[in-house]
Amino acid sequence: MSNKAFDIETKSFEIIDKEIGLHSYNESEWNIVRRVIHATADFDFAGNNLIIFHKNAIESAFQAIKNKCSIITDVDMVLSAINKKSLNNLGLRSICNISNLELVEEARKSNKTRSQMAMRYAATEMNGGIIVIGNAPTALYETLDMIKEGVTKPALIVGIPVGFVSAPESKNELTRMEVPFITNIGRKGGSPAAASIINAIMLLYQDKCH
């Protein structure tokens, strides 16, 4: 990062800290939430659309990274926004199957959306991996179904799909699962928010564990 970019980021974080003031997050959680606000310019992620952390979310993510996990995303936009330098430094692999032409026909035959089938295609990589969902509630629902079926067992789900249909409900269901998760309340979410969460986790790991 150039000095100018670093200065802008630092100043942005100072503004966010000042405007939010007191909050209930611990240091690691706040580093993640602050990056979401920085990526979206939306202070609601620390307010009405509060980001929620499972008690083991960060610990489980760190262990997965240590184990050289795969990171699976629901859409190419999330995949593209993941920090490639961090991925390379940590030796991690990122995967998105949504553009796989083979799954289009499979989705039709199975009466599933492409997002659902993309999750099914990544079942093996999900084991011990980190799943990052920013757009498709159907992808989150499918992932939760796969966990219930015993098909896969991820280390962490970042489930922050955006939208008016099924997004809040899918996130509510995620909070009732035993799997470690990071999610938020309500309709807001999206690719920038989802990618900023995994980027923040990777930076935290590099700072604390390297």
pLDDT along the chain (210 residues), means of 10: 70 94 94 96 92 97 97 96 96 94 84 91 95 96 97 97 95 96 96 97 89
Task: Decide if 8 is inside a domain.
Answer: no
Catalytic residue among 23, 38, 54, 210: 38
* Confidence (pLDDT) at 4: 59
Task: Decide if 108 is inside a domain.
Answer: yes
The yes-or-no answer on residue 38 being catalytic is yes
Task: Decide if 10 is inside a domain.
Answer: no
The boundaries of the domain holding residue 143 are 48-209
Task: Decide if 74 is inside a domain.
Answer: yes
Task: Mention every residue, 6+ apart, whose C-beta is less than 8 A from residue 95.
Answer: 70, 71, 72, 73, 79, 122, 125
| pTM for the whole structure | 0.94
The structural domain count of the chain equals 1
The β-bridge relationship of strands 93-95 and 130-133 is unpaired
Task: Decide if 59 is inside a domain.
Answer: yes
Q: Return phi, psi of residue 206, to 5°.
A: -65, -35
Task: Decide if 193 is inside a domain.
Answer: yes
